[in-house]
Each structure stands twice: as structure tokens, then as C-alpha cells.
Structure 1
Amino acid sequence: MILLFAKIVIGVVAILHLYFLWLEMFAWTTKAKKVFRSLPEHLFEPTKTLAANQGLYNGFLSAGLIWSLMIEDPVWQVYVAFFFLGCVSVAGIYGALTASKKIFTVQALPALLGIVLLAIHQFL
């Protein structure tokens, strides 16, 4: 049962990062203005390429998490999920320390929850 909850959390984190990919790569100068209200509007166009690069990295994180859900070997599946959730957690913690505290709640906390659930599953 714990593993099922962990996989649901992994799926949610993967979907969040697909959303981040879309927002940063394709909607930076439109929808992102509503999400990143603290960024002055005149900076969106000049930072479009930087945001797209960041979105691409979020897509890689999402791809890794989705891949982890498709691996048939249960041990390998958990290790790959640990790795990508760890990457998301580090990125979220760094973002919270350097950009906005909200990033911790939106990005790091769900990934850390996934790590905790996987760890509980490993020890049961």
C-alpha cells in the first residue's frame, strides 16, 4: 500500500514538472506572468531563452520520474525513483533558498514526501 502511495506521489511530481516545462518553455511570456508575479513584467521577454532552458531541465526530471514508474525490476525502479526525487528535492531546496520560499512547498515538499514513502516501503 505504501508503494502505491509513493507511485502516486511520483506521478504527481512528474506531472508538476511537465507543467513547469510547458510554463517555462511555451508560456513564459503569457501565462507565466500570472504565476511569477514578483518578476517585473518587462523581464519576461528578455529572459525567455533562460526560462526555456530551465523548462527543459524540468522535462528531464519528469521523464526520469515517468521512466522510474515503467521499470519492471522493483529494486531498480525504487533506486531510479530515489535518484530523480532527490534531484527534484535539491532543486526545490536550492530554489527556496535563492528565489522564493514557495518553491519549497510546490517542488521540494512533494519530492521529499515521495522519498519518505519509498524509504518506508524499503524498510517494511
Structure 2
Amino acid sequence: MLLIATVLTAIVIAIHVYIVLIETVLFRTRGRKIFGIKEDRVDALAPLMSNQGCYNGFLVAALAVGLLHPDPVIGRAFVVFGLACVAVAGVWGAVTVSRRILFVQTVPALLALGALVAT
């Protein structure tokens, strides 16, 4: 079960690396299309999205530290914290922005967290 939890956590990391890129580096092009932002609003929203991308980067960092930390107890704490944060952020995003966020962020995080807790 630990292998499944690790693989699911790595998937959550990959999803959030993609989100970071879409919200920061690629917002004016691909990100605008993904989020359905009209061209005339891109310049106004770019700094806000970049800030949001930064926070998603912190989630990636917490999960990566958790998977790579040499002490398994500390690593597990980072992974649990990171996955819980992703799940909560996903719920909030689903309530305030789009229900799709629940499936893209929260479900994978809860699956990984469930697999981790089952070990």
C-alpha cells in the first residue's frame, strides 16, 4: 500500500507542477484558454494568477520534501500535511471557482491520503 500512496502522491505533485506552470509561466497563452479568460482581462489577472501559482508551488514543495526526506516519520508528516492542504484548497476552489477543481485536485489528494493512512 505504501507504493500506491507514493505513486498517488507523485501524481498529485505532477498535477500541481502543471498547475503552477499554467498559472505562472503559461498563463497569458495556455492558461488563459484553460481558465476561459477573455483576452482583455489577461493583463489584469496575470499577477493574481501568478500569486496563486506560487502557493501551488508551495504545495508541490511540501509533498516533494515528504517523499524525499530521509526520516520516514518526518517525510510522512510532510506528505499528510501537503495532501490535506491540496484537498482543502480543492474543496475551496470547487466552491468558489469551478466544481471541476474538486475532481482535478481533491479526489487525487484524498486517494493518496487514504492509501497513506491505510499503510
The offset of 1:75, in angstroms, is 2.0
TM-score by length of 1: 0.91
Unpaired runs of 5+ in structure 1? none
1:54 aligns with 2:52: yes
Cα distance in 2 between the residues matched to 1:8 and 1:72: 18
1:79 matches 2:77? yes
Report the Cα distance in structure 1 between the residues aligned to 2:2 and 2:86, rounded to whole angstroms: 19
- Tell me whether 1:100 sits opposite 2:98 in the alignment: yes
Q: State the identity as a percent.
A: 38
1:16 CA displacement: 1.1
TM-score of the pair, normalised by structure 2: 0.94
Corresponding residue for residue 114 of structure 1: 112
CA shift at 1:77, angstroms?
A: 1.6
Higher helix share: 2
Counterpart Cα distance in 2 of 1:19 and 1:52: 13
1:10: how far off? 0.8
Q: In structure 1, how many angstroms separate the alpha carbons of the residues matched to 2:55 and 2:10?
A: 17
Structure 2 distance, partners of 1:99, 1:107, is 13
Q: Deviations over 1:52-83 (max 9, x none)?
A: 00001111110111110111222222111000
Matched, 1:24 2:23: yes
Secondary structure at the aligned position of 2:43 is classed as: coil
1:108 corresponds to which letter in structure 2?
A: T
C-alpha displacement at 1:15, in angstroms?
1.3
- Which blocks of at least 5 consecutive residues in structure 2 are unaligned? none
- Deviation for aligned residue 1:41: 3.2
What's the C-alpha RMSD, in Å, of the aligned pairs? Answer: 1.0
